[in-house]
Amino acid sequence: GAVVSQHPSWVICKSGTSVKIECRSLDFQATTMFWYRQFPKQSLMLMATSNEGSKATYEQGVEKDKFLINHASLTLSTLTVTSAHPEDSSFYICSARLGPGPYEQYFGPGTRLTVT
Amino acid sequence: AQSVAQPEDQVNVAEGNPLTVKCTYSVSGNPYLFWYVQYPNRGLQFLLKYITGDNLVKGSYGFEAEFNKSQTSFHLKKPSALVSDSALYFCAVSPQNRDDKIIFGKGTRLHILP
């Protein structure tokens, strides 16, 4: 149980275009999902916390107009990288929790974005 | 500020030897503690967690972790390392409040040498 999927697993796009990444909790309902960015050989950087039916909460330094997050249902959150640039190339990972406190996060397999 | 420290960027262990990956935290109250593992080009996998009770927690793949409240540590251990244990390991802390966020350490790369 507690499986999180991401789609696509990898994507290559041209500079200036937008890319949408989907994150789904397959066998549980997640009121809260998280979006992370990971650079090579580095730790996770939390980008935003996504709550179903409300606006996402972005971490300091993350441009909310560039990284659009939508949490339309209890099983789906999307991250759209708008007007992508080469510096947006990264590994994006989503996760979901059953609840706060003692509940662990379940992570998606990640999406490798390359902007040319 | 609340934080999680993994003091070692990399740990090298010979196959068959015991391994320890260190983690200390600075969080008010009594937090919940987690360990995750990440294999190359993959998302993170949950290994184990400490909520309350016995200080020694057993998890997946033969891993265990020891909670030490006085030292605010939660070190990951395994009695006999396998080459397949080579991966990136993250320690994480969830404060006992209504905040949904988990605070992650920067990760420790574990190399098991055959």
The answer to whether B34 contacts A46, with C-beta atoms less than 8 Å apart, is no
Q: Which of A6, A49, A102 sits opposite B32 (nearest CB)?
A: A102
Band (A98; pLDDT cuts 50, 70, 90) = confident
pLDDT of residue B101: 77
> Which chain A residues are within 8 Å of B44, Cβ to Cβ?
44, 93, 95, 105, 107
> Which chain A residues are within 8 Å of B3, Cβ to Cβ?
none
Stronger pLDDT, A29 or A35, i.e. the higher one = A35
- Residue A80 is which amino acid? T
The answer to whether A97 contacts B96, with C-beta atoms less than 8 Å apart, is no
pLDDT of residue B98: 56
Tokens of B107: 């990760």
Q: Does residue B112 contact residue B63 with C-beta atoms inside 8 Å?
A: no
Q: Is the pLDDT of residue B92 over 70?
A: yes
Closest alpha carbon within chain B to A34? B101
pLDDT of residue B82: 97
The answer to whether B90 contacts A91, with C-beta atoms less than 8 Å apart, is no
Give which of A33, A20, A23 is closest to A82, Cα–Cα: A20
Reported as a single tens digit per residue, the pLDDT across A30-54 is: 878 999 999 877 788 999 998 888 8
CA distance A52 to A73: 6
> Which chain B residues are within 8 Å of A109, Cβ to Cβ?
42-43
Q: How many A/B residue pairs have CB atoms within 8 Å? A: 61
Tokens of B74: 């939660």
CA distance B35 to B6: 11
pLDDT of residue A30: 86
Tell me how many degrees the CA angle B40-B45-B49 measures, rounded to the nearest 5.
140
Give which of B105, B110, B31, B32 is closest to B77, Cα–Cα: B110
Distances (CA, A) of A31 to A13, A51, A98: 31, 6, 7
Q: Is the pLDDT of residue A58 over 70?
A: yes
pLDDT of residue B99: 64
Burial of B30 (0-12, 13-18, 19+ CB in 10 A): exposed
Q: Is the pLDDT of residue B88 over 70?
A: yes
Q: Write a three-state SS string for A57-96.
A: EECCCCCCCCEEEEEEECCEEEEEECCCCHHHCEEEEEEE
Mutate to test the interface with B, among A24, A44, A54 (most CBs of B within 10 A): A44
Band (B12; pLDDT cuts 50, 70, 90) = very high
Q: Does residue A38 contact residue A45 with C-beta atoms inside 8 Å?
A: yes
pLDDT of residue A100: 74
Averaged pLDDT score across all residues of chain B = 92
Reported as a single tens digit per residue, the pLDDT across B23-66 is: 999 988 888 999 999 998 788 999 999 998 999 999 999 999 99
Q: Is the pLDDT of residue B8 over 90?
A: yes
pLDDT of residue A97: 85
Summarize chain B as % helix, strand, coil (round to 5): 5, 50, 45
Q: Does residue A14 contact residue A86 with C-beta atoms inside 8 Å?
A: no
Q: Does residue A112 contact residue B41 with C-beta atoms inside 8 Å?
A: yes
For A27, other C-beta atoms within 10 Å of its C-beta total 10
Band (A1; pLDDT cuts 50, 70, 90) = low
Reported as a single tens digit per residue, the pLDDT across B98-111 is: 566 788 999 999 99
- Which residues face A81 on adjacent strands? A19, A67
